[in-house]
Chain A
């Protein structure tokens, strides 16, 4: 019963990134099947999310039968080679809507045969009415640049992709499976993919539950006119996304979804105040250089997916409106998103647990790196799980792998701070002296090695260092009275 998640465009990829971190914190479903949709296969956002999935999978592969709610509980189906004969579902993880277009001919005019077949009949006039000349000749290899009407034509290609038949068959066979879609309504790729893909899924498997997070504008881009003047590489570009049109696009899209669309069982609408949004400083039109920072809206989108998956029966509302308060309107210039604002604030402290584990793993990795076998030898939980210092040194790669993942987590936390409505659950640099923003003194002067004793109490014996550590950390209680 995997839950499918479509991450459409750069925003979708970043939402999936947030969802993966929630899964790593133990909040995700048992099985997740991400499907990335982006015409720009080298996109930096896409690559970052792919790398995160791979790192996640590497860690998850070392943990056998994790308990529900434990760290890295969610199994992620990713990469085609994994879906062998023993696995019933075989759906690839990446769909490029431009598939079929020859390299160098990624233009709409080529796709709709504007210069050949359409010239012979009235179709040319219809195309002229719908698209400008610049749009017809725009290179789509790096996305649809804020023009969803172009992308929506190509998104229908998904039905020809091998992904499609298997996905629909799986959804028909397993009514418990659900689909969630991450997409923006103000850009190009996401806005074009959301209605098309959701409608196609509903047509193919009418009983399948489909939900989606519709992201309203939450960032601004530099003025395209200035960009063209300032950057030599963009001088030839005739169509660039313009954040001045984001609100107009969003309004039109919202009216469409509200009045004329039934392809999605639950829409979660999330947004920020565009006037106060931060502008992407290092804007790139696409390719590997397009690496945008994470935003707390993406985290809330991930929570929306978890909320959708948690629903049973017919407990679905067509619209859920999630909105960030405007920090300027409520006379609170130091507006921040804190742990108490999160949906799971009352039940657990997943961010706190993960931040502590980041420090613990970093320290353990440093010990392993410094060949400090004698000290590692004295860590009781390692010894009780049958591992000595030399065993840990022999499995340094496991520690490096964990550290890489947690370094990515730290970077993600840091990026979430850099918004007009910053996500301030944890300190920007995960500094122990002020780790929790709401309780900054809780871990002041707290030696992270004190977790040695907490981990020992969980009495976990795993098959590997990673399994033992992750399972023990999952069982360690974090209480309000005495954290860690």
Chain B
């Protein structure tokens, strides 16, 4: 069920505990994304600085996710881990946060029209 978010992480022991950590990760990730999207949305439009603001917000989300993962994984007991569980958990959460963050920015930019046109990320990958 949680694999809509954790694309590379499939725990096979201590399932209840891991699901708890995974849910916590999703909630924090959603919170980071929401905060930064709202923050970006309320920033006044300025054509020259718009790209900077957009990428800065996404960078903040990424950094917040990394910091959260580092703190969280350091407190997860080694007993419930096998192979690269911690690394896979962290990697999966950071990648998903980044992708879902960009997707949320894209949806909001479409809804907000010209004011957040610079968040139409597909434009950055298209010549």
Contacts and interface: CB of A to CB of B under 8 A. Distances in A.
The A interface is mostly helix, strand or loop, or mixed, namely helix
Interface stretch (A43-51, A122-130, A371-379): A371-379
B45 A450 contact: yes
B118 A378 contact: yes
A429 to B, nearest CB: 22
A450 B44 contact: yes
- Chain B facing A: main interface SS: helix
Contacts of A380: 113-114, 117
Contacts of A452: 45, 47, 114
B123 A449 contact: no
A381 B114 CA distance: 7
A161 interface: no
Contacts, number: 42
B82 interface: no
Nearest to B49: A447
Contacts of B115: 453
Interface residues of A, number: 15
B46 A449 contact: yes
Given A453-B114, A457-B114, A378 B50 contact: yes
A449 B47 contact: yes
A456 B50 CA distance: 16
A456 B113 contact: yes
B47 A378 contact: yes
A91 B114 CA distance: 47
Contact of B117 (A378, A447, A457): A378
A436 to B, nearest CB: 20
Interface of A: 375, 377-381, 383-384, 447, 449-450, 452-453, 456-457
Interface of B: 44-48, 50-51, 113-115, 117-118, 123
24 contacts: A375-B48, A377-B123, A378-B50, A378-B51, A378-B117, A379-B47, A379-B117, A380-B114, A380-B117, A384-B114, A447-B45, A447-B47, A447-B48, A449-B46, A449-B48, A450-B44, A452-B45, A452-B47, A453-B45, A453-B115, A456-B113, A456-B117, A457-B113, A457-B114
